[in-house]
Amino acid sequence: MEQPRYPIGIQTFSKIIEEGYTFVDKSKFIPSLISGSQYVFLSRPRRFGKSLLLSMLHSYFEGDRALFKGLAIDSMDVDWTPRPVIHIDFNPENYMMENGLEIILDRILREYENKYEVIEKETSFSGRFIRLIRTINERTGHNPVILVDEYDKPLLGIEDNEALFAKNQAILKGFFGVLKTMDTHIRFAMLTGVARFNKVSIFSDLNNLRDISLSDEFADICGWTERELTDKFEVGISKLARNLEVSYEEALRQMKEFYDGYLFAPRGSRLYNPFSVLNALADGYLGRYWFQTGTPTFLVKRIKQSKMLLASLNSARSMKIDLESVGMDDANPVPLLFQTGYLTIKRASGERYELQFPNKEVETGFAQQLLPLYAPQMKDLSGEFSLWEFQDDLTDGRPETFMKRLQTMLKSFPYEQHNEKFYQNIVYLLFTLSGVDSRVEEHTNKGRSDLVVRTPDYIYIFEFKYEGSAEEAMRQIHDRDYAGKFAMDPRPLYLIGANFSEKERGLEKWIIEKKVPV
């Protein structure tokens, strides 16, 4: 079969279609999207297809029907009348510069002012935007369409610079305030971003702004369902299977574990991350591609400052109203983690949402970002406390060595860090990043064990007590029969009861029992 062309990093709809790149068709959403409201906002994680979606809308509104031949919208009853489009893309600029936002706004406005021969020049950005919209209406006879890509890019990444953040926020507030005052001169406007910041004008001033970020109707508008993946990328999945030396079905299962799991509305589909999938299929390798494009440092700092239990992120709870809008000064990091794609919907009941990491790529990648803040010792892959050493202890069946290594490492931390939550976070990071199959609070018919670890040759059941005793921890393992569910597993099983002590600055004692299958 012909080798497919993957549009990695290509966000222009016309280029993808004209040059024969593989395209997952989302055009079926256009009619209801543009008829449902005059102003629309969509929040999705970075690298999730927002720019391509706006590029497709741009081509549609310009009436370039030939690009849509054979796509879903081609057979739908829609208006193909060409409309003028103002496309504002905030992606290219470096906003760490003091005047980065002003530079890109001036560049974009000058481009359209020249195109439409705007004669009367205003000085303010909002004044120039108003004059541009009026001029386009006068010269074309049509109200323009306004598409804004990554409206929040000038705010993300500069959180530590409070003065610059406030300045950019004020500029955006004035600029987007135009949308309200000019609504009779605008055909349609759509804005996308990573997060919905609650102090930017568009969300407080536009009464008719429709936020479709948590909408069931548009839950699948960005990202790929498994059906879309298998329909479009069978050749690539087969190549991946050959490289991994597994079956097609196993390769798909591993892709699902790494890149699937995003859910943006309770009745939506679980979705794959397009950026990671394209790179994995092109390379024939399952890597953490999304994280290689950069993780905002403020997110990592926010987690550390919140002093939250890291394992709790896999069952975080939030009200829907809190997930819909965030502030940079919010003490609770969960809504921002959701909007930026590090958490997704696990289940929902009315207005109450339970969240989790969407997949292995996100959980392990985020843990990797947190590691230097909690346990810098484990970053040295050649040291005695490296993740590889801990992993080898478990895969080779050396629980005593593993526990001794953990005890010694904990003694190296400053005294003030030693508390129950700190120990729990270290254990969570250690097992998440160690490369073994580890599951926190695994359910049985009699309760939940603290941790279950599976390697190809061994199973480990851990129970930890803080200011309790190792004997008490082991007694709980037996009383609640945590090992019962593994009765038919042929692998040797290690039961490990241990206790943490603040007085002893870490791991005080442990008991290990080995059960060999009959």
The full 3-state SS of 168-229, as one line of letters, equals HHHHHHHHHCHHHHCHHHCCEEEEEECCCECCCHHHHHCCCEEECCCCCCCCCCCCECHHHH
Would you say residue 88 has pLDDT above 60?
yes
Q: How far apart are CA 72 and CA 279, in angstroms?
A: 26
Identify the band that residue 387 occupies on the pLDDT scale cut at 50, 70 and 90: confident
Find the mean pLDDT for residues 29-54.
94
pLDDT at position 93: 78
The answer to whether 483 touches 515, Cβ cutoff 8 Å, is: yes
Is 408 in the same domain as 501?
yes
Would you say residue 296 has pLDDT above 70?
no
The verdict on residue 272 lying in a domain is: no
pLDDT at position 185: 95
The verdict on residue 285 lying in a domain is: no
The answer to whether 104 touches 88, Cβ cutoff 8 Å, is: no
pLDDT at position 328: 64
SS3 category, 464: strand
Q: How far apart are CA 466 and CA 508, in angstroms?
A: 10
The verdict on residue 75 lying in a domain is: yes
- Tally the C-alpha atoms within 13 A of residue 405's C-alpha that lie toward its C-beta: 21
pLDDT at position 382: 58
Is 480 in the same domain as 332?
no
Structural domain harbouring 344: 297-360
Is 180 in the same domain as 326?
no
Is 43 in the same domain as 184?
yes
Buried b (16+ CB within 10 A) or exposed e, 402-433: bbebbbebbeebeeeebeeebbbbbbbbbbbb
Find the mean pLDDT for residues 66-82.
97
Q: Which of 43-47, 59-63, 199-203 has the highest mean pLDDT?
A: 59-63
Q: Is the dihedral of CA 79, 80, 82, 88 positive or negative?
A: positive
Would you say residue 381 has pLDDT above 60?
no
Find the mean pLDDT for residues 196-222.
82
Residue 210, C-beta contacts closer than 8 angstroms, at least 6 positions apart: 36, 37, 39, 40, 41
More reliable by pLDDT, 23 or 152: 23
User: Which range has the worst mean pLDDT, 127-141, 266-280, 376-390?
Assistant: 376-390
Give the full edge-to-edge strand order of the sheet including 352-356: 316-319, 352-356, 344-349
User: Which range has the worst mean pLDDT, 89-98, 182-191, 214-223?
Assistant: 89-98
Domain end residue (candidates: 211, 228, 258): 211
Is 347 in the same domain as 381?
no
Query: What is the pTM (predicted TM-score) of this model?
Result: 0.89
Is 134 in the same domain as 34?
yes
Find the mean pLDDT for residues 52-65.
98
pLDDT at position 366: 86
Determine the straight-line distance between the first and last CA of the chain, rounded to whole angstroms: 50
Would you say residue 380 has pLDDT above 70?
no
Closest to 178 in 3D by CA, of 156, 223, 155, 148: 148
The answer to whether 192 touches 54, Cβ cutoff 8 Å, is: yes
- Kindly report the CATH number assigned to the domain that includes residue 441: 3.40.1350
Closest to 129 in 3D by CA, of 201, 192, 49: 201
Q: How far apart are CA 142 and CA 158, in angstroms?
A: 38
User: Which range has the worst mean pLDDT, 270-274, 300-304, 489-493?
Assistant: 300-304
The answer to whether 470 touches 498, Cβ cutoff 8 Å, is: yes
Q: How far apart are CA 6 and CA 22, in angstroms?
A: 6
143: which DSSP letter?
P
The verdict on residue 220 lying in a domain is: no
What is the 3-state secondary structure of 27-53?
Answer: HHHHHHHHHHCCEEEEECCCCCCHHHH
The verdict on residue 255 lying in a domain is: no
How wide is the angle at C-alpha 331 spanned by C-alphas 325 and 336, nearest 5°? 40
Closest to 340 in 3D by CA, of 305, 280, 295: 295
Domain end residue (candidates: 360, 384, 412): 360
Q: Say if residue 320 is exposed, middle or buried (CB neighbours under 10 Å; 0-12, 13-18, 19+).
A: middle
The verdict on residue 287 lying in a domain is: no
pLDDT at position 411: 84
Compute the CA torsion angle 236, 240, 246, 248 (nearest 10 deg): -20
Distance of CA 172 to the CA centre of its chain: 24
Find the mean pLDDT for residues 460-480.
93
Would you say residue 515 has pLDDT above 80?
yes
More reliable by pLDDT, 159 or 81: 81
Q: Look at the chain and report how many structural domains it folds into.
A: 3
pLDDT > 90: percent of the chain = 62
Is 202 in the same domain as 105?
yes
The verdict on residue 222 lying in a domain is: no
Find the mean pLDDT for residues 147-154.
93
Instruction: Identify how many contiguous H helices and E strands the chain contains and give both numbers.
Output: 21, 13
Contacts for 228-232: CB closer than 8 Å, 24+ residues apart = 228/24, 229/255, 229/272, 229/277, 232/22, 232/23, 232/24
Identify the band that residue 383 occupies on the pLDDT scale cut at 50, 70 and 90: low
Find the mean pLDDT for residues 182-195.
93
Average pLDDT, the chain: 90
**Model confidence over 306-360: pLDDT tens digits?**
778 888 888 899 999 888 877 666 778 898 899 889 999 999 999 999 999 999 9
Would you say residue 478 has pLDDT above 90?
yes
The verdict on residue 332 lying in a domain is: yes
pLDDT at position 77: 95
Is 94 in the same domain as 160?
yes
pLDDT at position 306: 78
Is 351 in the same domain as 384?
no
Please report the DSSP string for 292-325 in residue order.
Answer: HT---HHHHHHHHHHT--GGGGGGEEEEHHHHS-
Find the mean pLDDT for residues 158-166.
84
pLDDT at position 367: 87
Buried b (16+ CB within 10 A) or exposed e, 235-244: ebbebbbeee
